[in-house]
Structure 1
């Protein structure tokens, strides 16, 4: 495995975590707004 491969995976994981966090937050807001 090359260093480029590793850094690419780290960036992908960080991006995925941020994206899912925002997605979860949005779903949470929508859920409470719908009540």
Structure 2
């Protein structure tokens, strides 16, 4: 049986990473910079 709290914590970190990546991509497009 897996630990539910561990799963929730992992999901929060994953979502935060996804949001930060999206935010960085938006910032790059707005400022005319394309990281790749």
Q: TM-score range by the shorter chain?
A: 0.7 to 0.9
**CA RMSD of the aligned region, Å?**
1.3
Could you list the structure 1 runs, at least 4 aligned residues long, displaced by more than 6 angstroms after superposition: none
Query: Normalised by the size of structure 1, how large is the TM-score?
Result: 0.76
From the two aligned structures, give the one with the greater helix fraction. 1
Unaligned ranges ≥5, structure 1: none
Question: TM-score with structure 2 length normalisation?
Answer: 0.74
Unaligned runs of 5+ in 2: 31-36
- Equivalenced residue count is 30
